[in-house]
Amino acid sequence: MSNRVCKVYMVVAGDYHDMDRARLELLKLLAENPKIRATVAADYHDLESIAASDVLITYTCNLIPEPKEQEALRDFVASGKRWFALHGTNSILKFLEDGRVDAPETAPVLMKTLGTQFIAHPPIQPFTVKASDPNHPLVKGIDEFETDDEIYLCRIHGDLKLLLETHFTGEATGFVEDQWPDDDPRPVYYINTVGDGEVLYLNLGHCRGHYDMQPMIDYYPNIENGSWDKPEYYELLRRGIAYCADAVTG
Give pLDDT tens digits along the chain (250 positions): 578 999 999 999 999 999 999 999 999 999 999 999 999 999 999 999 999 999 999 999 999 999 999 999 999 999 999 999 999 999 999 999 999 999 999 999 999 999 999 999 999 999 999 999 999 999 999 999 999 999 999 999 999 999 999 999 999 999 999 999 999 999 999 999 999 999 999 999 999 999 999 999 999 999 999 999 999 999 999 999 999 999 999 7
| Ordered domains of the chain (ranges, CATH) | 6-249 (3.40.50.880)
Position 242 scores a pLDDT of 98
C-alpha distances in angstroms, 45 versus 22, 84, 145, 212? 21, 18, 38, 24
Q: What per-residue confidence (pLDDT) applies to 150? A: 98
Question: What pLDDT score does 1 carry?
Answer: 57
Residue 119 phi/psi, 5-degree rounding, is -120, -40
Q: What is the predicted pLDDT for the residue at 250?
A: 79
What pLDDT score was predicted for residue 43? Answer: 98
- Give the pTM: 0.98
What pLDDT, on the 0 to 100 scale, is given for residue 176? 98
Give, rounded to a whole angstrom, the gap between the first and last alpha carbons of the chain: 8
State how beta strands 6-14 and 36-41 pair: parallel
